Amino acid sequence: MASSKSIYIVSDIHDGSVTAVCSPNPEVQEKGETYKPNKLQKELYRIWEEAIDDLSQKPNLCVINGEPVDGANKKQGGNQSWTTSLYDQAMDSVKLLKKIPAKEFMFIRGSGYHVNIDGTPIESFIADKMGGVKYSTLPGIHNNAGYWANVKEKNTGVKFSFTHHIPYAKFFAYRATPINKETALMSLDKDRSMKYDVIVRSHVHYYMEVRSAHTKALTTPCWKYPDGHLTRGGLGGIYPDIGGIEIIIEPNGKILIEPLITELKQKQEVYEF
C-alpha cells in the first residue's frame, strides 16, 4: 500500500548575518577561529532544531528555496556579519542543512545580492556539498541550482512550482495580494507552462497562504531577524515569521500544509531613565 510523501521547505536562512541562524560553532577560516553565536542566534538555532523535531515524517525532499547565506552585506559594509566570506557562510549552512533528515535536497537560487560572487551562485556550491539533485527548467540545461523548479509527486501527480522571488507587501492587509496575483498569472500561463497544485514563493520573510478551488499558494517564513538595512523604511511590518513549511501528499492526492512557525522566547529590552 502506498504511503504519504512529504516536502520540507526552508528558505532565507541568511547564514552569515548576526541576526540569522547559524550552527553552534561557525568557523571563520581566515582567522583560524570559531565564532561565538549571540543570544538571538542561539534562539534561532533552537527553533531550527525544534522545527526538525516537529516534522511528522522524514522528508522525501527538502527544498531550499533561496538564500542559504547572507552574502558579503555590501550595503552595510559587512556590518552585522560574523563573516563576509561566502565560503565560511556556505560551509556553516551545510552544517545546518545536514540536520534535516531528508532523502533528497533541491536548491533554488535566491537574490544575487546575497548569493552571487561575480555571477557564480553559491547555492550550486552548497548543493554540490549536499549532493543536491540536478534538474532542468530549460530544455537541455541541467544544474543543481536553478531559478525555478517544477516538481511532481509521481504516484499522485501533484505538481509544485518553486521559485524564490515575489513582491513584498509591508502592510499586513495586502500580503495576500502578491501571492494571489502570482496564482492568477500562473493559471493564465498554464497552456505554455503547466497547471500547478501548489505554488511556493519565498523572499518576503513572512508566511501567507491562499487557496482557490484547485490551487494552494504560499510564501514561506525565514530564519533571519531584521538587520539595520531593513529599518530604512521604519520598524513597522519588518518583523518576520521564523520557521519552515512541511507539506504532506497523501496517497489519494490530498495535500496537507503545516507551517512550523515558532515565536522567539526572547523579548526586546527596554531602556529606562
- Whether 162 is covered by a domain: the verdict is no
3-state SS class at 202? coil
- Whether 171 is covered by a domain: the verdict is no
Interatomic CA distance for residues 15 and 200, integer angstroms: 21
User: What domain range is 81 assigned to?
Assistant: 5-153+220-261
What's this model's pTM, rounded to 2 decimal places? 0.95
Number of domains, the chain:
1
Interatomic CA distance for residues 196 and 160, integer angstroms: 6
- Whether 147 is covered by a domain: the verdict is yes
- Whether 185 is covered by a domain: the verdict is no
- Whether 114 is covered by a domain: the verdict is yes
- Whether 78 is covered by a domain: the verdict is yes
Q: What's the order of all strands across the beta sheet hosting 159-163? A: 148-152, 159-163, 198-201, 216-219, 208-211
- Whether 57 is covered by a domain: the verdict is yes
- State the cell numbers at 27: 568557523
Round the average pLDDT of the chain to a whole number and report it.
Answer: 94
**CA distances, 246 to each of 45, 53, 189, 206, 239 (Å):** 18, 12, 27, 15, 22
**CA distances, 273 to each of 146, 267, 268, 269, 270 (Å):** 53, 19, 16, 13, 10
**pLDDT tens digit sequence for 56-80:** 999 999 999 999 999 988 888 889 9
- Assess whether pLDDT exceeds 80 at residue 232: yes
- Residue 7's pLDDT band, with cuts at 50, 70 and 90, is very high
- Whether 200 is covered by a domain: the verdict is no
